[in-house]
């Protein structure tokens, strides 16, 4: 079985996404961060939406044929991954695709339910 975080087998963008997902999972798992800073939920949800959009853009680009006269090689791959990442951040921060509010509602309800259970 191959190591999921092996940089030799992952593309630049996939490795970047994996690192961001791991960092976000630690942030969301930490109830202390969320309970002390209510805006932490907003940021985590926006970041998660940004990662989802970035992955969506990556998969959409994968459908475009790479052979031909204008194929740019590794330089083009790095540039487009950076472009997609920045575009995803901007999209999530401005309008998004509606994922962030759903995640926020879900996390807020979970936090409220956990608080109600702990009070009993």
Q: pLDDT tens digit string along 27-66?
A: 655 555 455 566 788 888 999 999 999 999 999 998 988 7
Least confident of 62-66, 89-93, 98-102: 62-66
| Segment 72-94 mean pLDDT | 90
The pTM assigned to this predicted structure is 0.62
**Centroid of chain to Cα 26:** 13
How many angstroms separate the CA atoms of 104 and 47, rounded? 11
Which residues have a Cβ under 8 Å from the Cβ of 57 and sit 6 or more positions away?
84, 87, 88
How many angstroms separate the CA atoms of 100 and 92, rounded? 8
């Amino acid at each position: 079985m191959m190591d999921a975080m092996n940089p030799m087998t992952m593309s630049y963008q996939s490795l970047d996404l994996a690192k961001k997902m791991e960092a976000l999972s630690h942030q969301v798992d930490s109830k202390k961060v969320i309970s002390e800073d209510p805006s932490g939920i907003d940021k985590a949800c926006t970041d998660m939406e940004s990662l989802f959009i970035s992955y969506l853009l990556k998969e959409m680009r994968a459908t475009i044929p790479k052979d031909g006269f204008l194929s740019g090689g590794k330089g083009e791959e790095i540039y487009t991954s950076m472009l997609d990442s920045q575009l995803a951040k901007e999209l999530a921060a401005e309008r998004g695709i509606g994922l962030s509010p759903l995640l926020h509602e879900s996390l807020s309800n979970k936090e409220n339910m956990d608080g109600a259970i702990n009070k009993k």
